[in-house]
Amino acid sequence: MTNLPDNLIPAGDASRVRSLHNFQILNTTPEPIFDEFVALAAQLFNLPVSLISLVDEQQVFFKANTGLPGLKRLERTESLCSAAILQNQVLAYSDLSEEGCGLVNPYIAQSAGMRFYAGAALRMPDGENIGSICVIGREPRTIAPEEEGLLSNLAELVSLTIRLRSDYLHQGRPADWQAAQHQLETLLHDHAAFVRYLTTRTGTVSASPQDLPGIQSRLQEVRSTLTHLLAEVSSSDRYSATTAD
């Protein structure tokens, strides 16, 4: 489903870019928790590539990358992730050799042998989409509504994680951020093991309809942990402000 505007850089983009910069995550080094998210996404969709992107004024920076080693950034006009942020629904193309996004130069995707793309925007509390998480395949593929929901769920979890990272670092608590990463990584490792079991059992796409309830239930555990950690950070921030007064 596409509901894209006519321009890759619409009016009001400056506000979105300011939101991105406020989270102080652009052009930062890899961090394990985001690597875990893309590894899990690739497993869930049984696809070779998954990326977490952050879209700046001119470029798309890849915070996490599995399947395309060495890819750090692309020009905004060359990445489908820059189009995925333009709508709140999943942006999907079943076969990029036959269809494509008219807002983005198709050469990069074609030269890399990409055929399937699905991306969900990272939507922040201010309503701005600062990036996306996507899955990519080298063969044509359809995406079911249930899978779109799964990818959107992953995007929400990544968005919450970016917020948590920002809150911890804003409070000068990098050690607590590292501890939170470890806690979340442990959960995602357990879920990845469950996905590997499903793949071995079925020999097909992991996120099959009969498996989705179990997968979504496990992702809800990640969401609950993130929500709890965010509440703790917020409470600590309010306490610090009160004592400062």
Residue 157 forms part of a structural domain: yes
**What distance in Å separates the CA atoms of residue 75 and residue 72, rounded to the nearest whole number?**
11
Q: Which domain holds residue 153?
A: 13-234
Q: Strands of 91-93's sheet, edge to edge?
A: 73-75, 59-66, 49-55, 129-137, 116-123, 91-93
Residue 240 forms part of a structural domain: no
Q: How many domains does the chain have?
A: 1
pLDDT of the residue at 211: 72
CATH number at residue 75: 3.30.450.40
Residue 242 forms part of a structural domain: no
Mutual angle of helices 174-202 and 212-244, in 10-degree steps:
180
CA atoms within a 13 Å half-sphere pointing along the CA-CB vector of 19: 20
Residue 239 forms part of a structural domain: no
**What distance in Å separates the CA atoms of residue 215 and residue 226, rounded to the nearest whole number?**
17
Residue 7 forms part of a structural domain: no
Closest CA to 168 of 18, 23, 17: 23
pLDDT of the residue at 237: 65
Residue 83 forms part of a structural domain: yes
Give backbone dihedrals phi and psi of 63, rounded to 5 degrees, phi first. -70, -35
Residue 87 forms part of a structural domain: yes
Residue 125 forms part of a structural domain: yes
pTM recorded for the entire structure: 0.92
- Tens digits of pLDDT across the chain (245 residues): 577 888 999 888 999 999 999 999 999 999 999 999 999 999 889 899 999 999 999 999 999 999 999 999 999 999 999 999 999 999 999 999 888 788 998 888 888 889 999 999 999 999 999 999 999 999 999 999 989 999 999 999 999 999 999 999 999 999 999 999 999 999 898 888 877 766 666 555 555 667 777 788 888 999 999 999 999 998 876 656 545 55
